């Protein structure tokens, strides 16, 4: 069955791949100034955002979302030091990697790191492997590639070796059409769920490993797909069997899932309330999601703001929380309106004029503003 999964369906869809969590750099400032000098509309165009995303892929490292960065830097350093040792036995080296883990979450992360670091997408190899469960872990590790079925199978086995409770889930994502069926349900992707602190969370090591571009597989580690909570997982992964109860809990059926925007998960990662996204898609047959731009984790939390990317000329309320940005502005053409600041919270109620609208932020000791949210006002 595993060989039936297309390489496309096992990868992050190209339309949203660019929104991965790369660490910000000077590119943000330079790009925002450049695009403002040209046209604000260009910044909101989908194809231009894709080009922008490709630039971000040049940044050679990512950060851990919602984690203690210094602790995960320590774990990452230990991980690479252990891999560089001369120990050849897989099980011995694996247990050495896990030796510093103090919690189930850290054990799960080290497994995720191991798989996303070691394996690569390879459609030809996936066809030769077939069902990965018929091969030893050592053989799969030696082959070091395959499709999502291989990623999920290896992740499952290693998490079990780490003493974690884990599931393998056959389901549907937006990377392509159904390529198979399981128990009468459409399937085009395989991923895992692991129980941490009594809660099942989604882990997708395939999507966390990288992407396939014109030059073949490109490694690009991302923790965005590690321990996805239920309210975010339903935006990107659909399990027809609903093994975790996520679809039932949020009333997301297959029809509603198909209508969710491809970049809904990325908007949620930027702070947009995932429940508001689901509710808006349920209400509006042609829903357009607010445009979001790559930011460091925890840089912004959207407490209250329109989730639709198309606004009417009526009163709208913006309440944003950020410890990163000193000043927030709503920009329309040559009009710059500051949000009122109270501690970390920035707020403003306004009736926008027709045209493009950007919410932009300025960091302390910086002069340039960065694009945070983008809308079109009818």
Number of Cβ within 10 Å of residue 251's Cβ equals 11
Q: Following DSSP, what letter does each residue of 42-93 receive, concatenated?
A: HHH-HHHHHHHHHHHTTS--B--TTS-HHHHHHHHHHHHHHHTSS---HHHH
Cβ atoms of 211 and 220 closer than 8 Å:
yes
178 or 245, greater pLDDT = 245
Span of 31-35, 99-103, 309-313, 372-376 with lowest mean pLDDT? 31-35
Out of 43-47, 139-143, 285-289, 349-353, pick the least confident. Answer: 43-47
For range 327-345, the mean pLDDT: 97
CA distances from 82 to 92, 104, 307 (A): 10, 19, 45
Lowest mean pLDDT among 109-113, 175-179, 215-219, 371-375: 175-179
pLDDT tens-place string over residues 193-213: 999 999 999 999 999 998 877
Strand partners of residue 345? 321, 342
Higher pLDDT, 32 or 77: 77
Confidence band of 221 (pLDDT split at 50, 70, 90): confident
> Has residue 61 got a pLDDT over 50?
no
Distance CA 30, CA 267 (A): 23
The kind and range of the H/E element at 95 are helix 90-98
Q: What is the pLDDT of residue 313?
A: 96
Q: What is the largest CA-CA distance in the chain?
A: 66
Q: Among 62-66, 119-123, 227-231, 268-272, whose mean pLDDT is lowest?
A: 62-66
> What residues have CB less than 8 Å from 286, skipping those under 6 apart?
none
| φ, ψ (nearest 5 deg) of residue 283 | -85, -40
- Judged by average pLDDT, the poorest of 218-222, 234-238, 289-293 is 218-222
pLDDT at 53 over 90: no
Asked if residue 69 has pLDDT above 70, the reply is no
352 phi and psi angles, rounded to 5 deg: -75, 160
Report pLDDT for 329: 98
8 A C-beta contact, residue 246 and residue 230? yes
Dihedral sign (CA 294, 297, 302, 307):
positive
Question: How far apart (Å, rounded) are the C-alpha atoms in residues 335 and 306?
Answer: 20
Residues 42-71, mean pLDDT to the nearest whole number? 44
């Amino acid at each position: 069955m595993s060989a039936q999964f297309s390489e496309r369906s096992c990868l992050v869809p190209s339309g949203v791949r660019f929104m991965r969590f790369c660490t910000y750099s000077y590119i943000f400032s330079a790009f925002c100034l450049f695009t403002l000098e040209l046209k604000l509309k260009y910044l909101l165009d989908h194809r231009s955002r894709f080009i922008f995303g490709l630039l971000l892929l040049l940044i050679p490292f990512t950060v851990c979302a919602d984690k203690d960065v210094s602790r995960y830097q320590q774990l990452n350093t230990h991980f690479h030091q252990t891999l560089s040792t001369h120990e050849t036995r897989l099980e011995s080296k694996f247990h050495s990697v896990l030796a510093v883990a103090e919690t189930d979450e850290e054990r799960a992360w080290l497994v995720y790191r191991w798989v996303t670091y070691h394996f690569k997408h390879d459609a030809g190899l996936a066809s030769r492997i077939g069902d990965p469960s018929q091969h030893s872990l050592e053989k799969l590790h030696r082959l070091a590639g395959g499709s999502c079925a291989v990623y999920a199978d290896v992740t499952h086995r290693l998490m079990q070796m780490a003493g974690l409770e884990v599931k393998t889930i056959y389901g549907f994502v937006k990377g392509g059409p159904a390529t198979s069926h399981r128990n009468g349900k459409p399937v085009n992707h395989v991923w895992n769920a692991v129980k941490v602190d009594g809660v099942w969370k989604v882990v997708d090591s395939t999507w966390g490993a990288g992407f396939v571009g014109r030059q073949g597989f490109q490694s690009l580690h991302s923790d965005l797909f590690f321990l996805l909570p239920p309210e975010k997982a339903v935006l990107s992964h659909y399990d027809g069997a609903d093994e975790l109860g996520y679809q039932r809990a949020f009333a997301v059926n297959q029809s509603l899932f198909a209508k969710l925007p491809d970049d809904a998960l990325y908007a949620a990662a930027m702070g947009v309330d995932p429940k508001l996204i689901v509710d808006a898609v349920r209400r509006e047959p042609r829903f357009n999601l607010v445009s979001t731009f790559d930011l460091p984790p925890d840089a912004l939390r959207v407490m209250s703001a329109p989730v639709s990317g198309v606004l009417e000329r009526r009163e709208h309320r913006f309440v944003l929380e950020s410890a990163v940005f000193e000043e927030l502005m709503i920009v329309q053409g040559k009009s710059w309106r500051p949000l009122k600041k109270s501690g970390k919270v920035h707020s403003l109620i306004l009736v926008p004029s027709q045209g493009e609208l950007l919410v932009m932020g300025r960091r302390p000791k910086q002069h340039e503003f960065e694009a945070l949210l983008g809308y079109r006002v009818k």
